[in-house]
Chains A and B, each alone.
Chain A
Amino acid sequence: MADKMITNAREMTNTEYLYGHRACAGCGGSLALRLAMKVLGPRTFVALPANCMSAVSFLYPQISFTTNAMITPFPATGAVLSGIEAGARALGFEDYNVVGFAGDGGTADIGIQALSGAIDRGDRVIYLCYDNEAYMNTGIQKSGLTPFGSKTTTSPAGENLPGATGRKKDMFEIVAAHGIEYAATASIGYPEDYLKKVSRAAQCSTTSYIHVLSPCSTGWGFPVEHTVELGKDAVDCGLWYLAEYENEEFTLNRKPKEFKPIEDYLKKQARFKHLKEKEIDFIKYNRDRKWEKIVKKWNL
C-alpha cells in the first residue's frame, strides 16, 4: 500500500518500474502505466490482459516490469486480480499492491463481466483502465469506448457512415453503480491529478478503479509529441472530464470556465478529420447534455 499521497513530480521516485518496452513513440498508455507504477512501487503484483502494454513489455526474456507481473486471459483481468489477492491473503503476505492494467476493450467489452465480479467481491485490488478508445494492439478496431465519429479499421468513415456510431460507454458511472469504494477518471494530460488518484486508490481497503484517458498517436493519428497536449485538450473541450466517486458521491475535480472549441481537439486527429458540421454539432450536443447532468448532480 502507498503510505503517502503523491501529488506532483517532486514527490515522485526517480526509480523506474516499467522501462525498455517496445511501445510506439508518443504512447499515452505506457506513460499512464509508468506513472502509476512509480506511485505503487516495488511491492506490486501487476496483471495485464492482452493489450498493447502486455505486447510491448512481456516478451521473454526481455520483461519490462521490474516488479512481479503476469499476463492474464483477455476477459479475465478482474478475476486474476481477485485470485492474486486471495492467494496473497491466504499466504499471509503483507504490504503489497495488486493492480490490473487493461485497455478500453479489455475493460468495457470483453472484461466487463470479470471487472464487475471483482468489484462485487470487494477484493483489495486496483483496476486501472487505460483508455485509448479502440483496440490499438490488434490494429485500431472499434471498441465499446470508441467515441461517436471516430474512424477505425472496423468503423470506416464513408458515404454512409460517419465512423463509429455508438456512444462511448460510461465506464466510470457503470463502476460507480456497484457502490465501489473509490473510482476516478483521469487523463495523462493532467498528470498530477492522475498521480493523486492512483495514490488514493492504493490506500483503499477494498476495490478501486481508475479510468485514465491515454491518447494514442498511432491510432488517433497525431504527431507523437502531441500526446500530452491531446490528453489536456480532451478535458479542456469537455469531451472528457476529471472526476471521483467516493462515499457514494460524485465529485467533479475540474470545471473549465468555458470549453475550448471542440473542433480544435477533433481536427488535430486523423480519426476525426472526415467529420462534417452536423456530426460535430451532434458531438457537441451530447457533450452539453452530459455536462448538464454533471453540473446538476455532482459535487464541485
Chain B
Amino acid sequence: MPGKRIFVSGDEAVAEAVRLTKPNVISAYPITPQTVAVERISDFVEDGSLKAEYIHVESEHSAMSAALGAAAVGARAFTATSSQGLLYMAEVLPYVSGARFPIVMMNANRTLATPWALLSDHRDSLSQLDSGWIQVYCESAQETLDMVIQAYRIAEDQAVMAPMMVNLDGFILTHTYEMVDLPGQKEVDEFLPAYDTGNKMDLEDPRAVCYAAMNEYMEFHMKQEFDMRNAPSVIAGVDKAFGEKFGRYYSGMVEQYRCDDADVVLVALGSVCGTTRAVVDAMREEGQKVGLVKLRFMRPFPREEIMEIAGRVKAMGVLDKDISVGYEGIVFTNINSSVCDLSTPPPRINFIGGLGGRNISKEDIRHMFNQLFAIAKGEKQEKIQFINVGCDYNG
C-alpha cells in the first residue's frame, strides 16, 4: 500500500502506525483518552489488515504483563495506556526494562487523581522516569505516528534493547484531527525489519528469562545503564534514516527552534511546543531574540545538548506541566542537574502550568519569555512561578 494523506485524530494516527509496524501481540485495556487507539487497532485485527493476537486484558497491570509474556517468547508487542492506568501497571515497567524486552507503549498523557480529572498534563509519565523506559514526547499526530514506527527500531536495536513509551497529550492530540502523511507498508517494512532476538525463551534451546539475581544484580543494571547510553546515537541514526526514507526529520533528542542567536529560551515538552513556536515567531518579528527548546526525550536525558544551549543563553525557562509536590517541576530538576555543571550557568525560572489541562495561552508564553528577559537583566524573580492560576500566591 503506497503512502497517502489522511485526516485523523492522534489516537487514530497511533493505530495506523501500529498497523504498519505489525506487532504480533497487542494487549489492551481501555482508559480515556487512549481508547480510540485500541478501538481502531481491534478493528484492524478484525478486518485482517493487522495479523496479530489481540488480548482483552482485565487491567493495565495485566496489559503490561501480557505484553511481557509475549515479548518473552520473542514476539513484538504493543500496548497503550494513560494516567492512572500507567500507574497501575507501574510495577511491571521495570520487569520489562530489566528483562530487556523492547515493548512499545503509547501513553496518552493525562493528569492524576485527586482531584479526579480527565485532561492532559505530564504527571503520569514523568512519575515513571526511573522505570528504565525510553520516553519520547510528541507535538503532533504526525510526529506520534512517526515515533511509533521509529520506536520499534530504536527499542529493538541490539545496542539498546529497552522498552519505549511514546507520549502524546491527552485530548489536545489524541482527540483533535489533522492531516497526516501515512507511510506506505512497503516503505515501513524496508525501514523496520521483523523483530529477531536471542533474548527470549526458545523451545529448541530452553532457558530462563526474568530470573532472580542477588550477587550479579548490580552488574545487570550497569549493563542496562550502559546500553541506555547508546540510545541517543541510535535515536539520531534512526531519525536520519527515517528522514531519508519518509522526508520528515525530528532532530533526535532535542529540537532547537530559533535558538541559534537566542538570548532567552523556553524548554517545553509535547503539544505546547506548537503554541510556543507561534509565540517565538511573533516575538522574533518584533526583534526579540527568543527560542524554543523542544525536549523530545526525557529518558535517556540529553545532558550535553542542554548544557550546550544553556551555555550560550542569558536565561533559560523550563515549562513543567507537572509538579513534584514539595520541590519543583520534574523537568526543571532534570534540566538543572545538567545546567549546574556549567561554570557560569544562566539564571533559570521554573514555570508550572497546564496542571489538570489548564490552558497555556500565547499570552502566557509571552509572559514567560518576558519574565526570562527580566531575570536576564538581573531583576529578581521567583524561581518557581505558576502560570494562569485563578488565585494569588507569593510567587
Contact = CB atoms under 8 A, between A and B. Distances in A.
A55, A60, A67, A76: residue with the most chain B Cβ atoms closer than 10 Å: A76
A87 B61 contact: no
Contact of B213 (A59, A76, A81): A59
Interface string A195-214: 00000000000000000000
Interface in B211-226: 211-214, 216
B259 interface: no
B88 to A, nearest CB: 10
A59 B62 contact: no
B92 A83 contact: no
A106 to B, nearest CB: 13
A61 to B, nearest CB: 8
A114 B212 CA distance: 22
Contact of A83 (B67, B202, B208): B67
Given A83-B25, A90-B24, A72 B210 contact: yes
A24 interface: no
B57 A117 contact: yes
Given A68-B202, A75-B61, A91-B75, A80 B69 contact: yes
Interface string A154-189: 000000000000000000000000000000000000
A76 B203 contact: no
A73 B25 CA distance: 19
B62 A65 contact: no
Contacts of A42: 206
A65 B95 CA distance: 20
B284 interface: no
A89 B211 contact: no
B77 interface: yes
A73 B72 contact: no
Contacts of B77: 83, 87
Residue of A55, A78, A86 with highest tally of chain B CB at under 10 A: A86
A85 B211 CA distance: 19
B25 A60 contact: no
Nearest to B209: A70
B201 interface: yes
A86 B55 contact: yes
Nearest to B59: A113
A72 B264 CA distance: 49
Contacts of A251: none
B53 A89 contact: yes
B212 A83 contact: no
A59 B215 CA distance: 9
B74 A87 contact: yes
B145 interface: no
B56 A86 contact: no
A283 interface: no
Contacts of A87: 24-25, 53, 69-75, 77
A107 interface: no
Contacts of B91: 73, 75
A239 to B, nearest CB: 32
Contacts of B25: 83, 86-87, 90
A85 B74 CA distance: 12
B216 A83 contact: no
A55 B25 CA distance: 29
Interface string A129-170: 000000000000000000000000000000000000000000
B211 A76 contact: no
A70 B210 contact: yes
Contacts of B216: 60-61
A250 interface: no
B35 interface: no
A120 interface: yes
A58 B191 CA distance: 38
A67 B201 CA distance: 9
Contact of A43 (B24, B72, B203, B213): B203
A59 B73 contact: no
B27 interface: yes
A80 B209 contact: no
Given A78-B62, A82-B57, 5 more contacts: A42-B206, A58-B208, A58-B212, A63-B207, A82-B27
24 contacts: A43-B203, A45-B73, A58-B212, A59-B212, A60-B208, A60-B213, A61-B216, A68-B206, A70-B208, A75-B61, A76-B61, A76-B62, A83-B69, A83-B77, A86-B24, A87-B25, A87-B70, A87-B74, A90-B53, A90-B75, A91-B74, A96-B203, A113-B62, A121-B56
Interface of B: 24-25, 27, 52-53, 55-59, 61-63, 65-75, 77, 91-92, 95, 201-203, 206-214, 216
List the 10 shortest-distance A-B pairs measured between CB atoms, nearest first.
A83-B69, A87-B75, A76-B65, A79-B62, A117-B58, A87-B70, A68-B201, A83-B66, A90-B24, A79-B65
